[in-house]
Amino acid sequence: MIDVHAHLTNEGFDDVAEVVFRAEEKGVKTIVCSAYDLFSSKQAIKLSKEFDNIFSNVGIHPENVDEFDEKSLLEIEKLAKDDKCVAIGEIGLDYHYVSDNKEKQKQALIAQIELANKLNKPVVIHSRDAMGDMIELLKAHRPKCPSLLHCYSGSYESAEILMKLGFSFSFGGVVTFSNAKSVVEVVKKLPIDKILLETDCPYMTPVPFRGQRNEPKNVVYIADMISKIKNISIEDVAKITTQNAKGLFKI
């Protein structure tokens, strides 16, 4: 299995070697370390050099849009040329806490999609309370490579539009929460070849580990839940989602 979205550069992870070992023991053989600002982008690249089975995403998340300018974009571009950088991410729109900077968020997202297109790499999109604007923007600035909407929480109708734009969807701990009925409904309807597994660790810890730090080994619980929702074997979920991730990230 592949955890396509892990924040292993976060402060709580001073034990990455053990985290990677525990993941491997559970069959999570590959981890994509996602970044959210310039510093975490550099750290993600560094981790990918230390561990064969860690790949990186680099990019500036909408919550950190204040550090986005021509200079930081150039730095991201340099980092993104690394062989093990498999996508520009996570980037996107987030109007949940801050929505008085929508134009700046859009500008940063468009510039980073254009960078991904120039480098022939996919984008990993974060979208929170912004689906209308997101779809409009992606239609006008379409990623050239098949790309990923991470921690997808939108409707199936939005997912249909996004699939036409070349998107797949990754799901994490939320699918195990008892109040996640709408996400479960979306997973049920989506074709399995559009589904990838993620943890978004250290956040979004799945049941039964709520309250503990999340880590890539817990992808197993996401795979198990998806196998129940879609009524297919966990082996098939593991096999197909791994193929999906390998295809998307060209690994």
Q: Can you give the binding site for Ni ion, defined by CB under 5 A? A: 200
**In angstroms, rounded to a whole number, what is the distance separating the alpha carbons of residues 53 and 6?**
13
CB of 89 to Ni ion, least distance (A): 8
Give phi and psi for 170, each to the nearest 5.
Answer: -110, 145
Structure tokens, 64: 């950190």
CB of 7 to Ni ion, least distance (A): 6
Nearer Cβ to Ni ion (154/230): 154
Give phi and psi for 10, each to the nearest 5.
Answer: -65, 155
**In angstroms, rounded to a whole number, what is the distance separating the alpha carbons of residues 10 and 46?**
13
With 0-12 CB in 10 A as exposed, 13-18 as middle and 19+ as buried, what is 74? exposed
CB of 106 to Ni ion, least distance (A): 19
Nearer Cβ to Ni ion (3/200): 200
CB of 235 to Ni ion, least distance (A): 27
The answer to whether residues 17 and 39 touch, using CB atoms and an 8 Å cutoff, is no
Residue number with the shortest CB distance to Ni ion? 200
CB of 63 to Ni ion, least distance (A): 10
The answer to whether residues 241 and 4 touch, using CB atoms and an 8 Å cutoff, is no
**In angstroms, rounded to a whole number, what is the distance separating the alpha carbons of residues 43 and 33?**
9
The answer to whether residues 104 and 70 touch, using CB atoms and an 8 Å cutoff, is no
Nearer Cβ to Ni ion (40/158): 40
Nearer Cβ to Ni ion (127/241): 127
Nearer Cβ to Ni ion (47/230): 47
Structure tokens, 128: 């929170």
